[in-house]
Structure 1
Amino acid sequence: MSSSAGRVAVVGAGPSGLAAARALARNGIDWVGFELADDVGGLWNIDAPRSTVYASAHLISSRSTTEFTEFPMPAGTPDYPSHRELHAYFRGYADRFGLRDGFRFGTTVDAVVPRDDGRWDVTAGGTTATYRAVVVANGTLAEPNVPTLPGGFGGTVLHSSAYKRPQAFTGRRVLVVGAGNSGCDIAVDLVHHAAAVDISVRRGYHFVPKYVLGRPADTLNRGRPLPPRIKQFVDSRLLRLFTGDPARFGFPRPDHRLYESHPVVNSLILHHLGHGDLRVRPDVERLDGDGVVFTDGTRAGYDDVLLATGYRLHYPFLDPALLNWDGRGGAPDLYLNIVGPRAGLYVLGMIEASGIGWQGRYEQAELVAAHLAAPPAARAAFDSRAAGPRPDLSGGYRYLRLDRMAYYVNKDAYRRAVRAETAALRGAGRG
């Protein structure tokens, strides 16, 4: 047992972990970080042991709405950078702010345990040390959500987290299960190599093109946000002009309004459907030997079934009760998706929102740093609010009640709430 009692432990060196390290350092708070991989970047480091990106992966939000404000991406970076450019960006961010030396790379965090004195024991790399606080920033897209499909299959069933390159499926018949952003991207990737590609869809989606009027779609409305119903009305009609009706291509009609679930930012899927390069299939009823039976009673033969069924939250080094969570479905019940019931434990990056970008994660980190630096009375007032009713972070949108939407927020409502708490803590500190 060693002691680092005055330091803060940061778990993860992806975007949220780097944001945590930067905010702590900027506020004069001593920290040490732990990262399983041998470099920064999180999932955008395709060589990392837990990276789930594939060779053709790019941002689905534009660089200008995603980058850290104080560290813009280099001139000449494409509107939608690849994983290679993003890994280089995070390496540059770590080097620019001197963060790299603070991380212990190639180190697994095995346990984070509270102590009776209010501090935390962290076991990592075979050594246990005591820390003032712990910031958990190990990401939300590393632990595959693998459904159990009834029946048996003689081919290969794999999750999209194991998908790297389409050449591995050359000449094969592939069924992609799930039509979220990853499922659609992978289906588009596969059509150039596989013998046949189908995509199985349980529910309808809204499709947003990456470009509207020659500009990245998410840069067109960056002023004062419109009220939800007006924005949904206007944008839905604008999308019809650019993408048409996805039901025409075989997709079910959405059971929700635009922005009440994460839209699919991909117009190439409709392009390839229109060219007959792939087909939409209903939900899977069962696997059937050398094929799949669908809920409409049809059957088709496949060599591979690729599950683009998303990810689940995964904090294996923590007792879920410390996060107000049962450890299974849904999401931890944390104040502002950051602060749990036990003092000194914070989670960063457990948010999903259209357009929140990495700056939204950095603002989370600034709140953590402000909380750690605040005088006792200000911290007590914050902690009282954190133990009370949860603020409405929906911004007036009626998000679908699904596990994958359990930590979805409206970016404008969320950032206002986080900034207000940070300002209150800092104002109290100055007083």
Structure 2
Amino acid sequence: MNRYAVIGAGPSGLAAARALRKQGIDVEGFEASHDVGGLWDITNPRSSMYESAHLISSRTTTEFAEYPMDSDVDYPSHRVLHDYFRSYAEKFALSELFRFDTRVTRLEPHEGGWNLTAVDEEGEQTRWYSGVILANGTLADPNTPTFTGEFAGEILHTHFYKKAAQLDGKRVLIIGAGNSGCDIAVDAVHHAASVDMSVRRGYYFVPRYLFGRPSDTLNQGRPLPRRLKQAVDSRVLKAFTGDPVRFGFPKPDYRIYESHPIVNTMVLGHLGQGDLRIRADIDRFDGHTVHFRDGSSGEYDLILLATGYSLGYPFVDREHLSWHGASPRLFLNIFPAAFNGLYVMGMVEASGLGWQGRYEQAELLASYLAAVENDPARAESFRTRVTSTPWPDLTGGYRYLALDRMSYYVNKDAYRGAVRAERESLDAA
């Protein structure tokens, strides 16, 4: 029987282990930290979590369908979510599959499979697997841009931000206004001496509640055509949140949903109260002075880089994952066209995809690996289809921004539809 390795015990790694085990596939997992949960475990050294973090998608659109959260909170905190993953792992006996405090350092192709080298407290060991599933996450390697000049204060990526006390009494500049940047800005107004945000483009702000319900629960199961959804939602947002341009943000140079929206309207309230300011893009640093591209400047003690993350699978050579630009080019963000025994879980971002969407990834992979084991002709038919026919359009017609962080972004309805269709085809063959 073939044996497969899963790297990472976060949501995607747990989903992969669960789906493969349901198919009777032999699995062994590796997790560099001491527990399940991935980034949702704030004690994990690679976690990007901070004390005030909560889900930005609602509980019912995010949870695993077969295991609802034991909570009635719409937007649970990271602590609730870590407990959820622990409970999920216990329910389905997944923790016993993983070797914790064990870091994978190298993957090398060998005799039709892969040699996996990992390090634990006993030293380095190498084991052979028929295939390896990479589920080590997409939010662990901070993207740290370079700037002209030298800053005399502290520069810290938000990856290393854990609690608001780090901001006490400081003049803070946050560079970037993604969801984490806006969350931390809200923390900062209660602790910092002053708070500014430097932004280079405009954003769309989505309130957590619309018409008394979590906003992402509206229209569930009835996706509107792209143009209609963009037109309707733009008007609804303008009615509820107003125009962010009046608070100092640039006007977006793209349409709504062509980049990930900001699920935080509290930051707009603080802007309206004068608790923080929007500044232009950075020109250069000069001691404690930051000069902006509009000719203005400000004095700061701490710069927080809310500049996102770089995708990374450092333990395997890029050629094995068909890297194209900022991310691997994979069929349904899972399968390398070479079908070389490497598979990726969780390298997918989409508004509203949730962990159930990632579990559906795992179900498709498990169906394929079960076919490899039990019906090689069916597996070969799948490989032939993938390598000889055009891949499905996963954008849903949206023109996503040509940014590194958007290189593996998909439309949730298009993506889940394509994954389900492939699984039904595999299972019916």
> By the TM > 0.5 criterion, same fold?
yes
- Specify the alignment match of 2:369 in structure 1: 372
Give how far 1:343 is off.
Answer: 2.5
Q: 1:179 aligns with which of 171, 177, 192?
A: 177
Q: Secondary structure at the match of 1:264?
A: coil
- Equivalents in 1 of 2:88, 2:221: separation in Å? 27
In the other structure, the counterpart of 1:206 is 204
Does the aligned pair in 2 maintain the 1:176–1:198 contact within 8 Å? yes
Whether the 8 Å CA contact 2:339–2:383 is kept in 1: the answer is: no
Counterpart in the other structure of 1:119: 113
Aligned-residue offset at 1:75: 3.7
* Residue in structure 1 matched with residue 166 of structure 2 by the alignment: 168
The CA deviation string for residues 201-222 of structure 1, in whole angstroms up to 9 with x for no partner, is: 0000100000111110000110
**1:130 aligns to what SS in structure 2?**
strand
Distance in 2 between the 1:253 and 1:381 partners? 49
Deviation of 1:350 (Å)? 0.3
Distance in 1 separating the partners of 2:260 and 2:229: 15
- What is residue 196 of structure 1 aligned with on the other side? 194
Report the equivalent of 1:398.
Answer: 399
Corresponding residue for 2:221? 223
Shift of 1:386: 2.5
Look up the match of 1:293.
291
Query: Which residue number corresponds to residue 86 of structure 2?
Result: 91
Deviations 1:286-330 (A, max 9, x none): 11111100000111000011100000101000111111116xx52
Q: Distance in 2 between matches of 1:38 and 1:307?
A: 28
CA deviation vs aligned residue, 1:27-59 (integer Å, no higher than 9, x gap): 100100000110000000000010011010001
Superposed displacement of residue 132, structure 1:
1.1
Question: C-alpha distance in 2, partners of 1:294/1:390?
Answer: 44
> Deviations 1:363-399 (Å, cap 9, x if unpaired)?
0101111111112222112212322433210111111
Unaligned runs of 5+ in 1: none
Q: Report the counterpart of residue 66 of structure 2 in structure 1.
A: 70
Q: For residue 161 of structure 2, what is the amino acid of its counterpart?
A: Y
CA distance in structure 1 between the partners assigned to 2:242 and 2:164 by the alignment: 28
Q: Is the 8 A contact 1:236 1:258 kept in 2?
A: yes
Query: What TM-score does the superposition give when structure 2 sets the normalisation length?
Result: 0.96
Equivalent position amino acid for 1:122 in 2: L
Find runs of 4+ consecutive structure 1 residues off by over 3 angstroms.
Answer: none
Kindly provide the amino acid, as one letter, of the partner of residue 43 in structure 1. L
How many pairs does the alignment contain? 420
Aligned mates of 2:328, 2:286 — CA distance in 1: 37
Kept after mapping to 2: 8 A contact 1:134/1:345:
yes
CA distance in 1, matches of 2:197, 2:22: 47
- CA drift of 1:342 comes to 3.7
Indicate the SS of the match to 1:111: strand
* SS, match of residue 362 in structure 2: helix
- 1:124 to partner: Cα distance: 1.1
Q: Percent identity?
A: 63
Aligned AA for 2:376?
Answer: P
Identify the residue that residue 79 of structure 1 maps to in structure 2.
Answer: 74
Using the alignment, how far apart are the partners of 2:370 and 2:422 within structure 1?
A: 13
Residue in 1 that maps onto 2:126: 128
Is the CA contact 1:322–1:342 (under 8 Å) kept in the aligned structure 2?
no
Other-structure match for 1:305: 303
**2:314 is matched with which residue?**
316
Matching of residues 26-45 of structure 1 within 5 Å? 26-45=22-41
Which runs of structure 2 are paired with 1:202-351 in the superposition (5 Å)?
A: 202-325=200-323, 329-340=325-336, 341-351=338-348
Letter matched to residue 298 of structure 1: S
Indicate the SS of the match to 1:418.
helix
Structure 2: which amino acid aligns with 1:404? R
Amino acid of the residue matched to residue 124 of structure 1? A
Q: Write the distance in 2 (CA, Å) between the matches of 1:390 and 1:313.
A: 22
Counterpart residue identity of residue 413, structure 1: A
Q: Aligned ranges for residues 45-60 of structure 1 at < 5 Å? A: 45-60=41-56
Question: Following the alignment from structure 1 to structure 2, what is the Cα–Cα distance between the partners of residues 34 and 20?
Answer: 12
Q: Distance in 2 between matches of 1:185 and 1:220?
A: 23
Which of 75, 97, 101 in structure 2 is aligned with 1:102? Answer: 97
In structure 1, distance between residues paired with 2:254 and 2:175: 21
Contact 1:14–1:138 under 8 Å retained in 2: yes
In 2: Cα distance, 1:64 partner to 1:110 partner: 36
Specify every segment of 5 or more residues in structure 2 that has no aligned partner in the other structure, as ranges: none
**1:176/1:307 contact within 8 Å kept:** yes
Q: Is the Cα contact below 8 Å between 1:146 and 1:307 reproduced in 2?
A: yes
Question: Would you say 1:386 and 2:386 are equivalent positions?
Answer: yes
Q: Which amino acid aligns with 1:93?
A: Y
